[in-house]
Amino acid sequence: MKILVINCGSSSVKFQFLHTATRERLAWGNAERIGEELSLFTYKNSKGFSKTEENIRFANHEDALRTIVNRLMDPEVGVISSEKDINGIGHRVVHGAEEFYSSVRITDEVLDVIKKFVFLAPLHNPANIIGIEVCRKLFPEHVQCGVFDTSFHHKMPKYSSLYAIPQEYYTRHHIKRYGFHGTSHRFVSSRVAQLMFRDYKRLKIITCHLGNGASVCAIKQGVSVDTSMGLTPLEGLMMGTRGGDMDPAVPLFLMETLGMSLKEVNTLLNKKSGILGVSGKCNDMRELHEFIANGDESARLALEIYCYRLKKYIGAYSAALGGLDVLVFTGGIGQNDEIVRELTCSGLAFMGIKLDRILNIDNNRKESMISSSDSKVPIYIVPTDEELLIALDTEKVIKGIPIED
């Protein structure tokens, strides 16, 4: 089947058009700065065409989606001749609350429920909803499927998913640890089992998804039993602009003692912290290394905090799992950054985790094992492919095949 995968942000639409049988990406790209005076449109296809247009304007998401579909059907750079060649549309949806435990066909009822729980993900779900609504308007005959970042984590036991606050805040107000990046953790954990020729349902796996956002997941017998993000993607690891774990009294202190407003604290914790906050320079790991190479001490400290916290999670999740069969790195940093992997794994030989220094450097970006031959725990790089999983789920939804969660 040929599936259009849509990842809709507040001012952007990322898309991929995939062939599920061959797993080939036929076309992909990004519409950015939607609603601004000048937008940006990047379109690439599998035949090597690649172009970014700067003299284009998308007044709204509908404009952007129309352009995407027109480009897919373009006689020169397109990959299909008519809309009928699109077999279905898969949407990334950030938050599925406690309603969606698996990918679902989007109906009026499903959309109403997603809307009802917007308050749990006010930064992300509204944009996802716009993408769904526009696609339903443009393609009323096509099956639309919602794939949720949270659903992989829905089986987390209560002792890891509940906060230690009075339970009524969970039962009445839905405050609990939901976790995110579920599509990525699900993809790379099941993929690593294949690479190891092992039964997924018998493995204890830790997956580290390190991108601009970052999270760790502990997976036992195919089930996410703990993950570092919580009610929102702010909890857990240090990230590009998010601070991750901290004493919950810090925001109280910022408001009560420093007189900061709720909005200011929100901006500080979500947009000005993490790598950016500590280094004071950048939120991007590649740039951070450049600052470090030029002797910047704050940049070095940011890297040290980043890796130290990740190391702590690996230790904690090994304990939570009662052992570890494989450690996986993915995401832009996880896949590409040998220094982060090296610093994170250093000193973990006592737990049977030993990187091979050469493999760690040589095998960037590719699916590969990077642990030393005497490491009890294999360590892998597995590039994530959330879009492929969304497309495969969409195909299953169309065919009525149950999806393993």
Q: Please state the closest distance from residue 134 (CB atom) to ligand ADP, in A.
A: 22
Within a 10 A sphere around the Cβ of 261, how many other Cβ atoms? Answer: 10
Q: Please state the closest distance from residue 87 (CB atom) to ligand ADP, in A.
A: 26
In the structure encoding, which two tokens stand for residue 73, read together?
């059907």
Instruction: Give yes or no for residue 96 binding ligand ADP (CB under 6 A).
Output: no
Backbone angles phi, psi at 201, to 5 degrees: -75, 0
> Which of 11, 87, 160, 212 touches ligand ADP by CB under 6 A?
212
In this structure, is the dihedral angle defined by the CA atoms of residues 382, 237, 102 and 202, taken in order, positive or negative?
Answer: positive
Q: Which of residues 268-297 bind ligand ADP (CB under 6 A)?
A: 284-286
Backbone angles phi, psi at 184, to 5 degrees: -70, -45
> Which of 9, 131, 213, 236 touches ligand ADP by CB under 6 A?
213
Number of residues that bind ligand ADP (CB under 6 A): 12
- The HSE-up count of residue 43 (CA atoms within 13 Å, CB side) is 18
Instruction: Give yes or no for residue 90 binding ligand ADP (CB under 6 A).
Output: no
d(CA 180, CA 151): 8
Q: Please state the closest distance from residue 110 (CB atom) to ligand ADP, in A.
A: 26
Instruction: Give yes or no for residue 366 binding ligand ADP (CB under 6 A).
Output: no
Is 149 considered catalytic here?
Answer: yes
Q: Return the range that interacts with ligand ADP (CB under 6 A); candidates 49-57, 66-74, 210-218, 367-375.
A: 210-218
Is the CB of residue 23 less than 8 Å from the CB of residue 109? no
Q: Which of residues 306-345 bind ligand ADP (CB under 6 A)?
A: 331-333, 336-337
| Minimal CB distance residue for ligand ADP | 332
x-or-dash string of contact with ligand ADP, 345-364, rule CB under 6 A: --------------------
Closest CB to ligand ADP among residues 175, 388: 388
Beta bridge partners of 220: 204, 223
Beta bridge partners of 88: 3, 143
Question: Burial letters for 68-81: b for 16+ Cβ neighbours within 10 Å, e otherwise?
Answer: bbebbeeeebbbbe
d(CA 84, CA 79): 12
Closest CB to ligand ADP among residues 20, 279: 279
Q: Please state the closest distance from residue 337 (CB atom) to ligand ADP, in A.
A: 4
Q: Please state the closest distance from residue 371 (CB atom) to ligand ADP, in A.
A: 20
Q: What is the DSSP letter of 371?
A: B
Q: Please state the closest distance from residue 115 (CB atom) to ligand ADP, in A.
A: 25
Q: Please state the closest distance from residue 178 (CB atom) to ligand ADP, in A.
A: 18
Give one word for 139, left, alpha or beta, with left for phi > 0 and alpha for psi -120 to 50: beta
Is the CB of residue 280 less than 8 Å from the CB of residue 300? no
Q: Using N-to-C axis directions, what is the helix angle for 182-195 and 386-399, rounded to 10°? A: 90
Instruction: Give yes or no for residue 78 binding ligand ADP (CB under 6 A).
Output: no
x-or-dash string of contact with ligand ADP, 230-269, rule CB under 6 A: ----------x-----------------------------
d(CA 332, CA 367): 13
> Which of 179, 182, 211, 233 touches ligand ADP by CB under 6 A?
211
Active-site residue, selected from the candidate residues 63, 149, 226, 325: 149
Where helices occur in 123-260 by DSSP H, the ranges are 125-138, 158-161, 168-171, 182-195, 249-256
Instruction: Give yes or no for residue 385 binding ligand ADP (CB under 6 A).
Output: no
User: So which residues are the catalytic ones?
Assistant: 149
Summarize as ranges the residues that interact with ligand ADP (CB under 6 A).
Answer: 211-213, 240, 284-286, 331-333, 336-337
